[in-house]
A and B are shown apart, each in its own frame.
Chain A
Amino acid sequence: MAAAASVPVPRGPAAESPVSKATPVSKAVRRDWAVGYTMVAPVVLGALAFVVLPLGMVVWYSLHEWNVLAGTFTFAGTANYERLLADPGLADSLLASLWFSIGLVVLNITLALLLAVLLDQKLPGTTTFRTFFFSPVVVSLVAWTIVWSFLLQADGGINGFLSTLGLEGPNWLRHETTAMLSVIVVQVFKNVGLNMILFLAALQGVPVELQEAARLDGAGAWRRFRSITLPMISPTILLVSIITIVGSLEVFAQIDVLTGGGPGNSTTVLVYYLYQQAFRFNEFGYASAIAVLLFVIVLVLTLLQWQSRKRWVFHEV
């Protein structure tokens, strides 16, 4: 009730005006409003305190030269943003993020679709396989990453297995290309099960009659998949892509545990770079400018995807 009282009711005075006499706001309705305000108060206040306020603060910080250790906090205008443009470390981290996101989305969506289509065949043991593919989703992220880190060591399980085949595997986490590949693959196996389930649900929603009709018209399996199934599940593909891309920008734990951003800075993605600047080098002002950049990227990506929604989504759910 306290929260409700503190929120102004804009339509309150209007109720007395002659225009809205036809629909006077009764006491009961006002009481209902009060309940509404009370119910949303926690999340609204939370959004103000933990989203809007910090967002404003991060923009404010980004305009300052701020080193926590040195104790300096001076207004610097756009200096941090100029530094962004000139910083080769930032360019590298943007590139690393780009590679990571592309690799992750392509591999993840492809594998998720493949697994979903396979599981949709109603073969014996489908439930067991579904459990297998989904199980990493519930495994703690850091735990999963540690196990893979163990497997990917130079003398780890994967290279041990390769050596029994007479092959010599690389030191996966210590070469630039294989390190990035490792981070992507570990992440794909961790979460592809979730996307697989979403695709599977979508596949099962494709009307059997449509498939049947196309089959009678002589369309082969691939043709039916491309011309019927794929367009029918395109909203799900879009949704899953959005989740996966935005999620891929936030990868942190895997990088920290697997490679620590290395070798060199080949796997230092944007978020990891931000973390390093803020909590290793105590450059809070510069880190805030990176955070603003990250926010803009997420915003633009989301808007772009909303825009493209109409163009390549065949039908809305």
Chain B
Amino acid sequence: MKSEVMPPAGGNHPGAERSGGRPGAERPGATAPGAQNEPSMILGGPRQDRPPPDRPHVSRAGLRARRRWARGSLIALLLLLSIPFVFPTWWMATSSLKPMSEILQAVPTVWPQDPTFEAYGQVFALQPFAQQYWNSLYIAAVVTIGTMLVAAMAGYAFARIRFPGANALFVLVLAGLLVPSEVTIVPLFRIVNSLGLIDTHWPLIVIPVLGAPAVLAVFIMRQFFLALPVELEEAGRMDGLGRWGIFWRIALPLSRSALGAVAIFTFLKSWNLYLEPIVYLSSKDNFTLPQALTQYVDAYGGPMWNVQLAATTLTVLPVLAVFLVAQRQFVQGLAHTGLKG
């Protein structure tokens, strides 16, 4: 019966074909290979499609060799798949050290022949890059802290406090999820303009913290607080804490994991913002990084690749470094958040 269900695997191994059909009687003999198959089941992989019964004609060494081969080919596949993820970053960093003449060579050089930091000097000479870096950094930081605070409060209230109209207000807030920022960019531009806040950082800070981009954070925090046992708060109430006290001293400290996830994706979102800065900002001193990176062009509008890549490297490497140090929090936080959402 087993061999019927799995013709491909059985067909590969005539030995298995012969012994596979016999039930029961073979069991004692099957224990040794079966035991050997046990870890392979946990390890998974294509090895799994081999039938569990013994295979007298396939030696232990042969099995092990095949397993090693399967393992090796999977790792080779993973290495191959890694190239488009890793190579661009490597190419960015190494090309930023090449002079323009080397970049324009017909056959690209994998390693710069004559590494120079000249392009890095130009990054700061051509634009107020340090200022732009600071702009991006402080805007992302303020947006992140603001969103954490606002979302934690709203999430807590929507999850815990049964005030009249709570559901209606929650639906109202949640509707923001359905509105892509591009839909409202024209009226928001008009609003910002009429307030005289064009070419300031206000719209890049206030709208993300209070508007549609914060809704997901509110939702995540609410889900988290819904799952938090109420009993944890009872102790605080016994001690005479009010709502605010319970929120600040008990609920908020307990929500560190959810807050961490909110912080990571809010920061990345703000750091990546592109449409809004190019709509709201006009002077180079106010630019944010994504916007500034595209500005390194020569007199003919062609990109100055080495300078652009140097600026890009300076933008990418710090965040990448933080990620490598704290990748557990990054990955788990985002995975957790995504599943809850």
Interface of A toward B, CB cutoff 8 Å: 7, 9-11, 31-33, 35-37, 39-40, 42-55, 57-58, 61, 114-115, 118-125, 129-144, 146-151, 155-157, 160-161, 163-164, 185, 189, 193-194, 197-198, 200-202, 208, 211-212, 215-222, 224, 236, 239-240, 243, 246, 249-250, 252-253, 256-257, 271, 274-275, 278-279, 284, 287-288, 291-292, 294-295, 298-299, 302, 317
Contacts and interface: CB of A to CB of B under 8 A. Distances in A.
Q: Which of A121, A131, A164 has the most CB of B within 10 A?
A: A121
Contact of A51 (B42, B91, B184): B184
Interface residues of B, number: 112
B6 A218 contact: yes
A51 B169 contact: no
Given A118-B74, A201-B339, A246-B180, A43 B175 contact: no
A118 B79 CA distance: 11
A215 B182 contact: no
B91 A163 contact: no
A147 B164 contact: no
A295 B179 contact: yes
A290 to B, nearest CB: 9
Contacts of A156: 108
Most buried by A among B6, B82, B179, B308: B179
Interface in B93-146: 95, 104, 106-108
B204 interface: no
Residue of A61, A143, A146 with most partner-chain B CB within 10 A:
A143
Nearest to A60: B187
Given A147-B89, A147-B92, A220-B8, A52 B74 contact: no
Given A58-B187, A141-B274, A121 B74 contact: yes
- Interface of B, helix, strand, loop or mixed by DSSP: helix
A215 B48 contact: yes
Given A36-B161, A61-B186, A220-B49, A46 B210 contact: yes
B180 A138 contact: no
B191 interface: yes
A4 B96 CA distance: 55
Contacts of B46: 221
B272 A141 contact: yes
B28 interface: no
A257 B291 CA distance: 10
Contacts of B88: 136, 144, 147-148, 151, 189
B187 A215 contact: no
A47 B89 contact: no
Contacts of A246: 180
7 contacts: A33-B164, A45-B210, A125-B75, A147-B312, A220-B6, A221-B46, A250-B182
B165 to A, nearest CB: 6
A194 B289 CA distance: 23
| Interface of chain A: mostly helix, strand, loop or mixed | helix
Contacts of B107: 160, 163-164
Interface in B144-169: 150-151, 153-154, 156-158, 161-166, 169
Contacts of B166: 36, 40
A43 B271 contact: no
A208 B164 CA distance: 46
B339 A198 contact: yes
Interface in B26-69: 41-46, 48-49, 51-52
B300 interface: no
A54 B187 CA distance: 5
Contact of B81 (A115, A125, A164, A287): A115
A135 B89 contact: yes
A239 B338 CA distance: 8
Given A47-B175, A146-B312, A155-B106, 16 more contacts: A57-B187, A118-B78, A130-B331, A135-B320, A140-B272, A140-B315, A143-B315, A146-B309, A150-B91, A222-B49, A252-B182, A274-B182, A278-B189, A291-B185, A299-B178, A302-B178
A121 B289 contact: no
Contacts of B243: 31-32, 35-36
Most buried by B among A46, A149, A249, A250: A46
Contact of A157 (B78, B91, B162): B91
A125 B72 CA distance: 12
Contacts of A44: 154, 169, 172-173
B262 interface: no
A36 B163 CA distance: 6
A32 B44 CA distance: 53
A291 B85 contact: no
A137 B323 CA distance: 10
